Structure formats: C-alpha cells, structure tokens
C-alpha cells in the first residue's frame, strides 16, 4: 500500500496548463508547432502513437461543439488514450458542487481536464485547483487551441509567420483575443477591423501590443475597412456567438458592411491573400460562398489542424 504521505505529495504537484496564449512564450508556441507537424506527418505515414497510452482526459462541455469534441476525442484515441465526454448537464459545473471541488475530484480520476465553458473565470478556477493539466477548449475571453491551429495552418501555407499581416474583420471576441496574443508572440502584425462598440478587450489589446513591440510587430484596432490593405490573410468569425442569439438580428445589421466578400478581399491588394474562419460559418452573413469556397480559402485546413495542434498540446501536458 502506498504511504499516505506519498499520495498527498503527488496530488499536490501542479503541472502546467493551457489557459491562454498570453502566458506562453514564442519558443513554447513554436515547440508546439514543431511537435504538431511531426505528429501529423507520422500519422499520415501510418505510424501508431502511444504517447498517452493509459491516460484519460475529462472533456467538459458547457457549450457544445462538433470540432472541439471530435478533435479532442480522436486526438486522445490516436495517442493511445481515452477522452470522456461530460456535458453541462452531467457536470452542473458551479451549480451545487463548487468548480474548485470539481477540479479536485476530477484530478483524482483522470490525467487531464479540457473544458469548453462560458465564463473564463471557470477555466481559471479549474486550473487553480486541479492537480492535473487543464486545457481551455474555449471561454468567453480566450480560445487558445483555435489560435494555435490557425497559426500552424498559416505557417504551413506561407512558410513563415514573422512579418506577415493578419486582418481580423468582425466581432472583437475570444478568437480575436487569442489571435492577438499568438500573433504578437510570433511577430505577426494583427489588425482588428471592427464596428464601433465591438472592439476587442482593451486589456488584451494592450498586452498584445507590448509583446508585439518586443517582436518588431504591430497590433492595431480600426473601424475602417481600409485596414485590410496589405493583409496576407483575412480572418473572420460568426457575428453572434453562442449565448448571443437574441442579438443576432441587430448584429447582422451592424456587421453587414464588414462581410468578407470578393470586394473586401480585393481591398488587400494581394491576389494571394488567404481567407480564414474558425467555423462553423454562417454563409451569406460574415462570408460569402464565393470567398469561403475559393482557392484562397484555407478554412478546412484550419479545421484539420485543430486535431494536430491539440494532440501536440495533449502530449506536452499529459505525457510522462
């Protein structure tokens, strides 16, 4: 029988989490890309990976998602481990049992926790109290796994990241924040083109500006569509995220001038400017079919790379 003191010491050991890209270094992000590409190439060549053999990941979903569930579940399976889906109804996260106690209990059962939640504070609380790695699968403030997949995809298509310009057009939301954090660390110039009143969080912008300056890059926010000029990639997201359904009709009126269409793509002045979207897309709203299905669209490469980027994160946090 293992001495109680040993159990207590092991349970108290804190491992690194993925809560936000703002806390990662450029070296750590690039290390994730290197591992993701290695795993991707080896998987396509038929190699069987057992990095997480015998490991279990609890996957908490307050907000449902096709891509997040399938990519994490298949990622764990392809690495030799197991992903366990827990819906909001299964967990009652923060209702009844505290989030802190949920983190403590799950840490006794599984080797890692991935959570897709509404409030970013829930992710922070899970990470604070869990003794196993916690991965932010999405919160109202941050979507680090998406941004990792996005910049990995851009790296594959452009061969580099430093010096590129990414124009994000639309709502300054959680995806925007993660693109800002990641781009600033990697030396990508990020321009946020948004309607008045829908700017990204001022604190996130300030933090990204500091990191960008250190990398010789820039971060800016504008309401002028001319901000897309010179962009190597144009990125957008849905205008009304989950939980904002009541605002949808009003948001469509406000955001329609910011629709990504052939005219707006031409404003970049670069025929090879790429189009990105984290999906699912509301075609006919934030993007037209003409752009989404064009040769310059890499949206499905992004979707695939959610799998590979997250597998790298899982190995980095849970292996061993």
**Cis-peptide, bond into residue 155, ω within 30° of zero:** no
The active-site residue out of 62, 78, 146, 259 is 146
| Residue 116 annotated in active site | yes
62 in Cβ contact with 72 (< 8 Å): no
234 in Cβ contact with 277 (< 8 Å): no
Q: Which two tokens stand for residue 178?
A: 């993660």
The active-site residue out of 67, 69, 129, 143 is 143
Q: How far apart (Å, rounded) are the C-alpha atoms in residues 205 and 190?
A: 10
| Residue 146 annotated in active site | yes
The active-site residue out of 129, 237, 251, 308 is 237
- Residue 176: what are its φ and ψ, rounded to 5°? -55, -45
- Residue 290: what are its φ and ψ, rounded to 5°? -55, -40
The active-site residue out of 306, 308, 310, 316 is 306
Dihedral of CA 71/147/171/256: which sign? negative
The active-site residue out of 67, 145, 171, 278 is 278
| Closest among 134, 140, 137 to 149, alpha carbons compared | 137
- Residue 129: what are its φ and ψ, rounded to 5°? -105, -15
SS3 sequence of 38-53: HHHHHHHCCCCCCCCC
Coil, strand, or helix at residue 234? strand
Label residue 257 exposed, middle or buried (CB < 10 Å: 0-12, 13-18, 19+): exposed
| Residue 143 annotated in active site | yes
The active-site residue out of 116, 177, 277, 308 is 116
| Residue 157 annotated in active site | no
Residues with catalytic function = 116, 143, 146, 237, 278, 306
């Amino acid at each position: 029988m293992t001495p109680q003191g040993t159990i207590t010491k092991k349970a108290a050991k804190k491992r690194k989490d993925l809560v936000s890209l703002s806390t990662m270094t450029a070296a750590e992000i690039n290390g994730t890309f290197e591992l993701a590409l290695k795993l991707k190439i080896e998987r396509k060549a038929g190699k069987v990976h057992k990095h997480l053999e015998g490991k279990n990941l609890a996957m908490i979903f307050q907000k449902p998602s096709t891509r997040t569930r399938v990519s994490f579940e298949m990622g764990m399976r392809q690495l030799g481990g197991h992903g366990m889906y827990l819906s909001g109804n299964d967990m009652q996260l923060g209702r009844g049992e505290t989030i802190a106690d949920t983190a403590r209990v799950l840490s006794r059962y599984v080797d890692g926790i991935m959570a897709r939640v509404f409030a970013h504070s829930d992710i922070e609380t899970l990470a604070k109290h869990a003794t196993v790695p916690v991965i932010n699968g999405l919160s109202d403030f941050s979507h680090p796994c998406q941004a990792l997949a996005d910049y990995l995809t851009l790296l594959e298509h452009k061969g580099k990241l430093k010096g590129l310009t990414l124009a994000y057009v639309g709502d300054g939301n959680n995806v925007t924040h993660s693109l800002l954090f990641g781009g600033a660390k990697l030396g990508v110039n990020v321009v946020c083109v948004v309607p008045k009143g829908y700017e990204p969080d001022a604190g996130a912008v300030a933090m990204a500006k500091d990191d960008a300056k250190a990398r010789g890059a820039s971060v800016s926010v504008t309401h002028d569509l001319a901000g897309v000029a010179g962009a190597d990639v144009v990125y957008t997201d849905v205008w009304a995220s989950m939980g904002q359904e009541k605002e949808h009709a009003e948001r469509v009126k406000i955001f329609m001038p910011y629709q990504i269409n052939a005219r707006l793509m031409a404003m970049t002045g670069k025929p090879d400017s790429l189009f990105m979207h984290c999906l699912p897309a509301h075609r006919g709203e934030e993007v037209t079919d003409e752009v989404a299905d064009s040769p310059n669209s890499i949206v499905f490469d992004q979707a695939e790379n959610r799998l590979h980027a997250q597998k790298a994160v899982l190995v980095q946090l849970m292996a061993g």
